[in-house]
Structure 1
């Protein structure tokens, strides 16, 4: 919890940090978290002060529209207006302080963008070197397009006892095997999984995304194959593999534009961090120069 004597900047910083770092409201932080937050905020505010007092920040203008857009994005995270207002109250934050904090964030961001604007564009040759030296970053693992039908096992209901659930899913399987185009219809009618609304479609999955029992079966199937009933911890499943995407390496021409943009973003971040480091060093050396 912030003290009322804290600066508006510190109150706003704690409001942001408590959710981003600890996923809770400021008044829910324990003693260790409050101590950690105080240290992080002190460092953050010092960096922001240095950025905003730099020559590069002079003339940077943030429009009311930019502030409004960012504010609306924050409000949208809450269930309703009352929940948003309660969050502000718990953080000792007014709407005016929140708007000012947002404006400050945008000023910092715009200043850093100005600082790194002169970072050179990444050439095709530089991107190509990165591509060939980091092949794992451009590999697509095997994926399967899967649908399923679930009959849960629950002894509290006669129709969901283990023997009845197995019998029911075998009956469904017999109907599907006669005409696989009926799988979606059968899923909508009988599946006890929310995917029933979409014809049982799970989607494109990689190994490890499903229950281990389902994973093992799905990745041993052929495209167009319907599985035997598979028992998991929640019940019996009928799997339908409708497509297989083999593992492959993405071609350079496919990834080149995004790769160049990503590498330039990384270079800009490095340049920004170096610039901040130099500004902080300059600030600490200034008193020495004055006293000498």
Structure 2
């Protein structure tokens, strides 16, 4: 059994650094006045909750091992380019190694308490899971998707070379070159899409997020073949796909593990919120 002192002089420094990073990705020294006020309010609240958890009856049943603390400490050090940079950052937060390890120990203890009080999750009723599955089919469906690349010539009346006739002529010339040159090279050279920097590669794209004209072209296009110019409101596209995943709806058997996980997560959150609410009333 571990016991905890009532006040932790280093706790505020640690939480301030953590909250400032989580909220704004900034060191506390770089916060604006408004950001600092927001961080201070949250630190005060988190500190109050942590202290209440650490002094609960449930915390008396929790043990944090030195190995767990050392592992968490090593992860902190690994986030810096060098050990020297880590120590400089530690000094800026008004902490030393011992204080950081104490703060990490308290954080681990709180996580363990929250896990402990929410361990008795009721089993998911399979009939209710089946009813949810049938009522929320959209959550278990997948649109057609293509792993694809493109070359884009935009239509922009502000530039002569991007007037529609000129853009169409340019995309046709690029299409002709596809017979003798690598698509990736042409994309890097001619495409006006940001994907040009990745040789035209767009990754996996879902049907609902593509222009209908592009989808129509993809649906009749053989794998790795380059389409004819496809016009959209953006301009002219040459598209090519590498793999295709057809649309489908998962079976209940496939969805059930996800439903179990979702049920457990929600049940744990509910138990934790209820327990914390009672704990904060008792500690106020």
> TM-score with structure 1 length normalisation?
0.73
Please name the residue that 2:256 is paired with. 256
2:115 paired with 1:113: yes
Please name the residue that 2:50 is paired with. 48
- 1:18 deviates by 0.5
Please name the residue that 1:69 is paired with. 71
- 1:17 deviates by 0.5
1:31-57 superposed Cα distances (whole Å, 9 cap, x missing partner): 222222222111111111111111211
Q: In the alignment, is the contact (CA less than 8 A) between 2:16 and 2:39 conserved in 1?
A: yes
1:168-210 superposed Cα distances (whole Å, 9 cap, x missing partner): 754442243x5xxx8xx713433322323xxx4322112576x
Structure 2 CA distance for partners of 1:90 and 1:276, relative to 1, 3 Å: same
Structure 2 CA distance for partners of 1:226 and 1:267, relative to 1, 3 Å: same
Structure 2 CA distance for partners of 1:208 and 1:96, relative to 1, 3 Å: farther
Secondary structure of the corresponding residue to residue 24 of structure 1: coil
Gaps of 5+ in 1: 1-5, 154-160, 285-292
User: Given the alignment, which residue of 31, 34, 46 partners 2:33?
Assistant: 31
- 1:111 deviates by 0.9
2:283 paired with 1:283: yes
Q: In the alignment, is the contact (CA less than 8 A) between 2:151 and 2:187 conserved in 1?
A: yes
Q: In the alignment, is the contact (CA less than 8 A) between 1:123 and 1:260 conserved in 2?
A: no
Q: In the alignment, is the contact (CA less than 8 A) between 1:230 and 1:236 conserved in 2?
A: yes
- 1:74 deviates by 3.5
- Which has the larger displacement, 216-225 or 116-125? 216-225
Structure 2 CA distance for partners of 1:249 and 1:98, relative to 1, 3 Å: same
Please name the residue that 1:91 is paired with. 93
Secondary structure of the corresponding residue to residue 277 of structure 2: helix
- 1:256 deviates by 0.9
- 1:228 deviates by 1.1
Distance 1:122 1:37 in 2: 39
- Which has the larger displacement, 55-64 or 100-109? 55-64
Secondary structure of the corresponding residue to residue 57 of structure 1: helix
2:148 paired with 1:146: yes
- 1:22 deviates by 2.1
- 1:271 deviates by 0.3
- 1:72 deviates by 3.5
Distance 1:230 1:77 in 2: 47
- 1:142 deviates by 3.6
1:92-132 superposed Cα distances (whole Å, 9 cap, x missing partner): 23333222222111100111111111222323233223323
- Backbone CA RMSD of aligned residues: 3.4
Please name the residue that 1:220 is paired with. 216
Structure 2 CA distance for partners of 1:227 and 1:19, relative to 1, 3 Å: farther
Q: In the alignment, is the contact (CA less than 8 A) between 1:119 and 1:268 conserved in 2?
A: yes
Structure 2 CA distance for partners of 1:146 and 1:50, relative to 1, 3 Å: same
- 1:162 deviates by 6.3
Query: Structure 1: which 4+ aligned runs deviate by more than 6 Å?
Result: 150-153, 161-168, 229-233
Structure 2 CA distance for partners of 1:69 and 1:190, relative to 1, 3 Å: farther
Gaps of 5+ in 2: 1-7, 156-160, 189-195
Alignment coverage as a number of residue pairs:
258
User: Given the alignment, which residue of 186, 192, 197 partners 1:194?
Assistant: 197
> TM-score with structure 2 length normalisation?
0.75
